[in-house]
Structure 1
Amino acid sequence: MAQGAVKGKAKPKKPAKKSVPMRKGGRVIAPKKSRIIHQQKLKKNLEVEIRKKIEHEVTQKASSNMPKKLALLKAPDQGKKDKGGVAGGSKA
């Protein structure tokens, strides 16, 4: 066996990482150029405004066809669940 290179020892296998479940929402790679960042921010704001306007028009058309007036309900804030609990009160 004078001709070939010496084979390396086999390395022990590492355990595979657990797969993390997919998260909701689109994936966007943040751009490095400020002009592109500004364009993306403007585009997002325009999309939000257009969606709000469409929703408003749809509710107006739906309410005009109904004999009873429609009322829009707002979802409660997710961050303000525990207001009554004591966070870090001191005992005096």
Structure 2
Amino acid sequence: MRNGIHPISRPVVFRDRSAGFRLLAHSTIDTEQTVEWEDGTTYPMVDVEISSASHPFYTGTSRVVDTAGRVERFTRRYGRTTTDRP
């Protein structure tokens, strides 16, 4: 590896503003904000809009899409042709 061309990887705190969830992970992202972690060390902090604590898929609040209703609406709107199978 050549020296001086790779970004520096360091611990960074990612904070989900909507859920109040914080995660300490390694990243190369550059930020001006800092926060004090539970161990008393100050780390750079990045605010994120969605994390596993607030994403509908992980929280179980996702909606189920009614695909049968969509097919029926399409059939009503455009009808069936004589070449369609029953």
TM-score, scaled relative to structure 1: 0.26
**Structure with more relative contact order (C-alpha pairs < 8 Å, separation 6 or more):** 2
Q: Which has the higher strand share?
A: 2
Which structure: larger Rg?
A: 1
Between structures 1 and 2, the one with greater helix share? 1
